[in-house]
A = this chain, B = another copy of it.
């Protein structure tokens, strides 16, 4: 392991995080909040810590290989949350460090679970930082999974439709930079568009920005206790639904649409399945809510069903209703959608539609193999062939995912948390959703959990966000041996 090279990269990352912490300082000055000096201090500490790490790492020039890159991804997210928690702690908004760490991890991983019982009590500048961690995390994930990881051969290049023909080391850095720059522009474009539209609906710049961050990162932090229900506006809901949907789409598709100037969405099997599941989910949910008289008119049922289905499946976690009070089937459906998740290469989390699609195909082929043992057929998704190595790695991902969910639920329940709250808190964090059911329902929060559980759930957030492996390898002793 080239620890100096790793330290250098991590130092750079922390310094960047520290620099972005100046933004809430401006908002504090704008809102005349006395907390500005403490936010400034947090920024300085982070920036200088990053600088020191960078300096230490630069002492000895080293190369970054595959292993170092993987470790930096996992450690980078952990350190970002570690330093990102400082504005909450130093400002006094969230006094306990574990709570602040949970909240920040929830932000950077675009989860949206909160330990805040009363969000509106916090200074607006601090809430801006809270929402901004979403935006940074969402951007980071898109760049990581589309521009960086495919080059490292991690996570299955196929899953992210990298347009790069093959691994050519000398052209690696410029290529990554170029791809990242375009993704950055798309992300920024969406940000400007949604913010503008929300301001047309009467939100001020601050509120519009914060909710745009929560939407595009499929995060779910709101500045209001009642989340999007606070505004009670169909227009705002439609705008947010649209942008949640776009954020849950593979950014490679946006990228290619932009480059080829033609809508490539409909040609993509994952996107088609993603849209189909969303529509089917909305239909089923609307009918169920209407028939069971949760809402008196079909139109009202449609309004709340569509928002919640899109919010949960894109793993955003905004809410316009207390779905914990809905019917058993509605709740089960939401939990199922939590595990399906959005498209690969989007800001959404969970298992991802492409994996489910592939596993369904594998299941059909394997069933046919029982009575046609000699027939050999090639498994394809669109035009991409999925060989048995890739099939194995996708199914193995599913196994580990389910395993973590089961073990997590068992550990949380050891703290005498009821079954549904245990299971749904793990589901909500591992899948980067935000709210779960019962004690962690949409009008509830995570404050009442013991600190060890909060730490555990924070780890689930980052595991889910980084698709397990970048975190899991960190605890394997053989990873650290050269």
Binding site for B on A (CB under 8 A): 66-67, 70, 153-154, 288, 292, 327-329, 331-333, 335-336, 339, 359, 362-363, 366-368, 370-371, 373, 388-389, 391-393, 395-396, 398-400, 402-403, 406, 409-410, 413-414, 416-420, 422, 437, 469, 472-473, 476, 478-479
**CB–CB B332/A409 < 8 A:** yes
Can you list 8 A-B contacts (CB < 8 A)? A66-B373, A327-B416, A332-B409, A336-B410, A366-B392, A368-B478, A370-B473, A391-B392
Shortest CB distance A463–B (Å)? 13
A478: chain B residues at CB < 8 Å are: 368
Shortest CB distance A195–B (Å)? 37
How far is it, in angstroms, between the C-alpha of A420 and the C-alpha of B413 when the chains are bound? 14
Interface of A is mostly: helix
**CB–CB B398/A399 < 8 A:** yes
Copies assembled:
2
**CB–CB B370/A469 < 8 A:** yes
Shortest CB distance A159–B (Å)? 14
How far is it, in angstroms, between the C-alpha of A396 and the C-alpha of B398 when the chains are bound? 10
A389: chain B residues at CB < 8 Å are: 388
**CB–CB A373/B410 < 8 A:** no
**CB–CB A367/B288 < 8 A:** no
- Known: A331-B413, A391-B392; 9 extra A-B contacts, CB below 8 A, are A153-B373, A332-B422, A339-B406, A363-B400, A366-B396, A368-B476, A388-B389, A395-B396, A402-B402
**CB–CB A336/B399 < 8 A:** no
**CB–CB B371/A414 < 8 A:** no
**CB–CB B332/A154 < 8 A:** no
| A328 in complex: contacting residue of B70, B363, B402, B422, CB < 8 Å | B422
